[in-house]
Structure 1
Amino acid sequence: MRSLFQGNFDRIRPLAYQMRPKNLDEYVGQEEVIGRRSVLRNLIDKGKIVNSIFFGPPGTGKTSLAELISGELDYTFEKLNATTASLSDFREVVERAKRRVEMENRRTLLFLDEIHRFNKLQQDALLPYTEDGLIVLIGATTENPYYTLNNALLSRCMVFEFKKLDTVHIEKLVKAGVERLGLKELSEDMMETILDLAKGDARTALNYVELYCNTADTLSDEEIRELFKKRKEGYHKKEDKYNIISAFIKSIRGSDPDAAIYWLARMLDGGEDPRYIARRLLVHASEDIGMANPEALLICHAAITSTEKIGMPEVRIILAQATIYLAISSKSNSSEAAIDAALADIRAGNLQEVPVHLTKQGEHLYKYPHAYAGNFVEQAYMERPGKYYIPGENKNEKMIQQKLEKLWKK
């Protein structure tokens, strides 16, 4: 009965999931990574695998290849997403891997998606298990690992770069998806439109094939093609994309929630990745709102987490809420101005020694603030005082200004 239910479940899953390859021969693209003469393919052919980082854009086959490798080597496949997983989740995987080795003599491959989202402490916690061979780690990231991962972790892994799929690969997948859905062959114009929209992303291409399937019985090919073209022309030109995101941010900065929502809708309707939008909101929460409303940062962090758990169309509501919140919030760029002023001083050669009473050797000279009334005592924290943080003209920072003036009377 389980296999029957599983089969029914697979049939209602998105086409992109159904089209995942069942073996290495079905895998499309990434010849440099997994081609017959590649290092990774030679390792697999010898029944081996090493800790690895798969780095590249979305929809290029990172998850699919990790699953195939575990199947080829008869490893148990475990998957975590670093945006939602904690160290306790990781430890549970480790415990299951231990029991598996003891009881089944079977190893475990852990696929850690969005590995760059793990902080330094979490990345360090992976190190012992990447060395003792209990699990094989394959981390996936869309960000450059040489900038986002610890050197200690990188030194224990091989990095494989995945590139956007060539048109010939996307076309092959589209044709296979059309056949799987039992559709008639796509027209040349329809194929060209989907290939242009996909931009090397197999998942996007198959999503459009599925959308075509769902509308083909009510719209003609010409109508669907025109609909797709409008979506493409409305947003996907490079210059339009960056003009629209610019308009989005400037509308929020200008406290116009209606305009901000309109530009948000343009991006979503054009197929923009909700995660990209959420990341821009997070930056804006500090860049233009900052100390005027520190809660804005928490709102946008929650929006980012939501985009990892919830897809379209529901996530549009969460992004809309965060957008409106930022648009109507008080504004301040004092945090950005403060760090930029300090950096400018340092780059101009204004380097200071740490005052003696703040060093370990001068601890006996340090005044512990909690030992004084109000948990404050006046003492120097720089050799030459500098003024970097200037509170903005908003309710919250006016209160901050009053507090600082009261504390630092001089």
Structure 2
Amino acid sequence: MSDLFQDDPTPAPASTPDDQAPLAERLRPRALDEVIGQEHLTGPEGAIGRMVAAGKLSSMVLWGPPGTGKTSIARLLAASVGMRYEAVSAVFSGVADLKKAFEAARKMKDASGQRTLLFVDEIHRFNRAQQDGFLPFVESGVVTLVGATTENPSFELNAALLSRAQVLILHRLDAAALARLLEKAEELEGPLPLTAEAREALVASADGDGRFLLNQAETLYAAKITAPLGPGELGQFLQRRVAVYDKDREGHYNLISALHKAVRGSDPQAALYYLARMLVAGEEPLFLARRLVRMAVEDIGMADPAALTQCVAAKETYQFLGSPEGELALAQACIYLATAPKSNAAYKAYKAASRSARETGSLMPPMNIVNAPTKLMKEVGYGAGYTYDHDAEDGFSGDNYWPDEMTPQTFYEPVERGFEREVRKRLDYWQRLREERS
């Protein structure tokens, strides 16, 4: 069997970890009720708890951030229902390795009736064709598939595979769960050399990743520190976990969606927080500048036309100053947008006008307003009867500008907020003149 596989009828959690193994490995839970932070799945009323109680597993995809227990749960599931456990890493494995795993599972089922739980770590890294290769073996019961992924399965996994597996969501470990992990470490290794404040800072630095937290604790133990460290000393000794943020993945879209909705919801505090989250994580500032411009025209529009000017100026300021000074201009634009009066009237008007344009095709504008650059065109009536509005009373002719085959439409409806309140007055005034002169 390839070294890429872990094939053991008695899963690893049942054995005693090597004393020289990393702390995170030595503290792996040895029963499902020892898994910390995922009780919504492993508890008696959870999806996994119910399956184990029934003694029958269905294929599943475990979706959650790094360090939340996906691998531990998969190994413990096999032991809980007496299944053979085999693991494959999608990072290192190919089609040939999968074929070996399926063949071994088939032989075991035929020889002893024992079924195989096939754990596929980083399952999203398999391409579409490789994912399709699982289907016949899952459908025939040769393997029960348990995949693990940090990426959104709806984006990364085939619909056919998803239809045959439950997606179970693991939560980011909260402060209480991380604190329990530290307590387990201290039961094994002794008290950590930290003040109470430094202990809280250590938990916060893990950003929900239990494995990272235990690795940090192991570093502290290895340093043989005698006097307890305070938060400042701990910060110099250890590094914070880098926030999970892939610029082309779900985290990116979640945060930009949150920023946009906070601006639309007129919450400048939350909007600044999400803007800073993205900048701190390394987002391209000009991407954020483009999105701020979009917010200005979609959610503020004519309620405050200066919002667009602010955003374009912020983009130019960033290009002029660069980072980090130019990022302040983006923050100013973000605050301006969040505190501006809101209107999507222009956005809705353009969408409605676009629908009408598609539906009406190539209707000719009325002859009085079409271009008449040649003598022939003037002779056949192009431009005839056009009224120059500046020469009309009040600078308004009230002429019809719609195609003869079309009833005049109303696309733009200003709201009673900000500058659009004044626009509404103008439109109402012109409509009164139009009705009087018709």
Given the two structures, how large is their TM-score scaled by the length of structure 2?
A: 0.51
Provide the secondary structure at the position in 1 that maps to 2:200: helix
Structure 2 Cα separation of the partners of residues 248 and 83 of structure 1: 31
Percentage of identical aligned residues: 33
Who is 1:245 aligned against? 282
Provide the secondary structure at the position in 2 that maps to 1:11: coil
Which of residues 127, 132, 140 is equivalent to 1:124? 132
- Note if contact 2:206-2:241 (Cα within 8 Å) is conserved in structure 1: no
Structure 2 Cα separation of the partners of residues 54 and 78 of structure 1: 16
Please state how far the C-alpha of 1:37 moved relative to its aligned partner: 0.8
Who is 1:162 aligned against? 170
The answer to whether structure 1 residue 220 and structure 2 residue 257 are counterparts is: no
Please state how far the C-alpha of 1:9 moved relative to its aligned partner: 6.8
The answer to whether structure 1 residue 95 and structure 2 residue 103 are counterparts is: yes
Q: Which runs of 5+ in 2 are unaligned?
A: 1-13, 244-272, 288-357, 359-438
- Aligned residue identity for 2:94: S
- How many equivalent pairs are there? 246
Structure 1 Cα separation of the partners of residues 242 and 233 of structure 2: 14
Q: Which has the larger Rg? A: 2
Please state how far the C-alpha of 1:227 moved relative to its aligned partner: 3.5
Please state how far the C-alpha of 1:74 moved relative to its aligned partner: 1.1
Who is 1:56 aligned against? 64
Task: Sort the Cα spacing of 1:93 and 1:249 in 2 relative to 1 into closer, same or farther, 3 A.
Answer: farther
Q: Kindly report which structure 2 residues correspond to 1:187-226, keeping only aligned pairs within 5 A, or say none.
A: 187-217=195-225, 220-222=227-229, 226=233
Structure 1 Cα separation of the partners of residues 209 and 46 of structure 2: 22
- Aligned residue identity for 2:111: M
- Aligned residue identity for 2:51: L
Who is 2:27 aligned against? 19
Map Cα deviations across residues 15-36 of structure 1 (whole Å, 9 max, x no partner): 1111110012211121222221
Provide the secondary structure at the position in 1 that maps to 2:55: coil
- Note if contact 2:66-2:150 (Cα within 8 Å) is conserved in structure 1: yes
Structure 2 Cα separation of the partners of residues 226 and 85 of structure 1: 43
- Note if contact 2:194-2:230 (Cα within 8 Å) is conserved in structure 1: no
After superposition, the CA RMSD in angstroms is: 3.1
Map Cα deviations across residues 133-167 of structure 1 (whole Å, 9 max, x no partner): 11100011000001111111000001101110121
Task: Sort the Cα spacing of 1:185 and 1:73 in 2 relative to 1 into closer, same or farther, 3 A.
Answer: farther
- Note if contact 2:62-2:146 (Cα within 8 Å) is conserved in structure 1: yes
- Note if contact 2:197-2:230 (Cα within 8 Å) is conserved in structure 1: no
Q: Kindly report which structure 2 residues correspond to 1:299-378, keeping only aligned pairs within 5 A, or say none.
A: none
Task: Sort the Cα spacing of 1:148 and 1:45 in 2 relative to 1 into closer, same or farther, 3 A.
Answer: same
- Note if contact 2:108-2:115 (Cα within 8 Å) is conserved in structure 1: yes
Please state how far the C-alpha of 1:187 moved relative to its aligned partner: 2.9
Structure 1 Cα separation of the partners of residues 166 and 204 of structure 2: 32
Deviating 4+ runs (over 4 angstroms): 6-9, 229-238, 246-250
Map Cα deviations across residues 49-78 of structure 1 (whole Å, 9 max, x no partner): 001000010011111011110000111111
Provide the secondary structure at the position in 2 that maps to 1:10: coil
Task: Sort the Cα spacing of 1:41 and 1:221 in 2 relative to 1 into closer, same or farther, 3 A.
Answer: same
Structure 1 Cα separation of the partners of residues 105 and 43 of structure 2: 30
Task: Sort the Cα spacing of 1:135 and 1:244 in 2 relative to 1 into closer, same or farther, 3 A.
Answer: closer
- Note if contact 2:60-2:147 (Cα within 8 Å) is conserved in structure 1: yes
Greater fraction helix: 1
